[in-house]
Chains A and B, each alone.
Chain A
Amino acid sequence: MPAPKRVEAASSQPAAHTMLVQQLFVRHAPQLRAYALALAGEFAAADDVIQETFLTITTKAADFQPETNFLAWSCAIVRLKVLENQRASRRFSPAVVDSLAASAAPDLLHEERLEALMACMDALPPKALELVRLRYFSEHGPSEIARLLGRTVAGVDNGLLKARNAIRDCVAKKLAAGSDGRMEATG
């Protein structure tokens, strides 16, 4: 049984607002990680960016207004963190990062897109699904996947390309169908 402690005054508790911001971060973590990965390019680099983003949104929580868009606010912080982490040689220049961040469509990270993508991923043929698992869950690079599967790197690259294309097209169809459905329902 743990030893008893004297209860601290309420002043020792973090501000409720900071907790709210942290909970919003948890809620939007998949979208933020995807955004960080887009700009940072590497899984590990994106994870580092997200770690730093969390620390920043915690310290700057007071800057966030609850009635505003948390995802937009936190994506701006992600962008800054990516720019601060340009140490590796194969990273986009600040000009490219800024240019890309400015051109991101606001609906790219909507939850519907992730939901559609999951459905499309589940519909992949088994071998393509295994490629996706090895690349995105186990986080192996193409050469490692090739070694694991006894295939050529070019074959793995080609397989991943086709799997991504199939998913991209499938997601587009699903989102379009969903949009049409909503228009019919409201029309």
Chain B
Amino acid sequence: MSTLPDDPMNEAVPPTPSMADRREMLIDSWFDGTLADDQFAELETAMLESSEARQEFWDRATVHGLLREAAKLRFSSADFGVTPAEPTSPSFVGERASLAFWADAWRQLPLAVRRIVLVAGWLAAVLIASRGIASSYREGSVQPANVVIHEEGFETPPPPAQDFQPEHFDLWGGDETEVVGVTDGVVPRGGARMLKFVSGHPRDKFYEGVVAEIWRFVDLAELRASAGGRLDRVELSAFFNAAQAGDVVKPFGGVSLIATDTHPRDFRRDWRAQFAAAAKRPASMAASEIRQDLDSDRRTWQRLSATVDVPDGARYLVLHCFTERWRNDGERLVWESLGQYVDDIRLEVVPAAIPRPTR
């Protein structure tokens, strides 16, 4: 790496490139979308006629393709910035150094861990700056930024499974939904896609109940192990939008977050009982649910969030997003679940505040 100058853009291009350099340039230009027609024809010919050229292609393609993956991992990792409770001063240098340490710790994690975090929905909670730091929230403390441990914008597969009940680790599942682009005048909040709730049941399956919902399980054991055994507070948030609202249609959106010791297979019978159980068994369960009207403006996304303090006895998190609506058909109110959207779901660890060091 020492051969690369500080500013590579200042280096002049070699005036007479070799054949290999020429192909290298063509391949890179193809990946950058800057290849002229005659250059594209030259590249295709080389790919068909020369095994050496094909080997060079894969050398470049591998760098190009994996760089994109590496950049996603490297630059989409948690924001380690702090939000000072007061203007930055020299006394905060220590806190920033602590955060820098955790940022470095993140970078030192094995790739496998980081990849699992971002691709399969996990983020190593070693980032949680609260580990080893007093958790008391004192005046003058700084609040580290939340650490995102799962993000779902429905930009890449898999889409949620249509299988009714909370059941899966690392996969969303639930009622009939569809990943869509701009629909009914609703533009995805981020990226090019969002999730449309289609019905209150899996496709081709019918039963009573009108709430359309999706779920996902998170294994706290893995999260705690990465965090050194400590995990305090987590927040689930999601953005909702409704294509129709007004006097005759009243849509709702909501999120639930449950920390529990109940295995997914035992959730199949009675989801609602979890809320009552959480009140009775605070050592191993906690639950929070937010349900809110959705406005009639298709241009706005409404953020709903639920937060729980994770009990030491809890073994799993259940993430839950749901929508429903009622419609006045002139004679009665009809409950249904049509035309609501969700995008940019996030599960975040809320780190404990970092107290100002004593002088």
Contacts and interface: CB of A to CB of B under 8 A. Distances in A.
A113 B62 contact: yes
Contacts of B167: 13
Interface residues of B, number: 92
A15 to B, nearest CB: 11
Given A22-B158, A92-B47, A100 B168 contact: no
Contacts of B171: 19, 22-23, 26
Interface in A1-59: 1-8, 12-14, 19, 22-23, 25-27, 29-31, 33-38, 41-43, 47, 50-51, 53-55, 58
B107 interface: yes
Interface in A121-174: 121-128, 131-133, 135-137, 141-143, 149, 151, 153-164, 166-171
A33 B275 CA distance: 40
A155 B65 contact: no
Interface in B323-355: 324, 335
B63 interface: yes
Given A12-B205, A50-B157, A121-B70, A161 B9 contact: no
A71 interface: no
Contacts of A155: 9-10
A42 B33 CA distance: 7
Interface string B135-177: 0000000000000000000011110010111011011000000
A30 B74 contact: no
Contacts of A163: 4, 8
Interface in A82-139: 90, 92-93, 95-96, 99-100, 103-105, 108-109, 111, 113-115, 117-118, 120-128, 131-133, 135-137
Contacts of A126: 6
B101 interface: no
A126 B256 CA distance: 42
A137 B72 contact: yes
A4 to B, nearest CB: 6
Contacts of B249: none
A141 B322 CA distance: 38
B10 A3 contact: no
A153 B72 CA distance: 24
B1 A166 contact: yes
B165 A117 contact: no
A107 B169 CA distance: 29
> Chain A: interface secondary structure?
helix
Given A2-B211, A127-B8, A132 B71 contact: yes
Contact of A41 (B24, B31, B55, B157): B31
Given A1-B272, A22-B158, A151-B9, A33 B47 contact: no
A158 B9 contact: yes
A2 B119 CA distance: 30
A137 B75 contact: yes
A23 to B, nearest CB: 6
B1 A124 contact: yes
Query: What are the nearest 8 A-B pairs in CB distance?
Result: A34-B65, A54-B157, A38-B61, A136-B71, A159-B9, A5-B209, A115-B111, A155-B9
Interface of A: 1-8, 12-14, 19, 22-23, 25-27, 29-31, 33-38, 41-43, 47, 50-51, 53-55, 58, 90, 92-93, 95-96, 99-100, 103-105, 108-109, 111, 113-115, 117-118, 120-128, 131-133, 135-137, 141-143, 149, 151, 153-164, 166-171
Interface of B: 1, 3-13, 24-25, 28-35, 40, 44, 47-48, 51, 54-55, 57-76, 107, 110-112, 115-116, 119-120, 155-158, 161, 163-165, 167-168, 170-171, 200-202, 205, 207-211, 213, 254, 256, 268-269, 271-272, 275, 289, 291, 320, 322, 324, 335
Given A90-B40, A124-B4, 6 more contacts: A30-B69, A38-B58, A127-B6, A136-B72, A158-B11, A161-B25
27 contacts: A2-B209, A19-B168, A26-B119, A26-B170, A29-B157, A36-B65, A37-B64, A41-B31, A50-B156, A90-B33, A90-B35, A103-B51, A103-B55, A108-B62, A113-B62, A114-B69, A114-B111, A117-B70, A118-B111, A120-B1, A125-B6, A127-B6, A136-B72, A137-B74, A157-B28, A157-B32, A159-B8
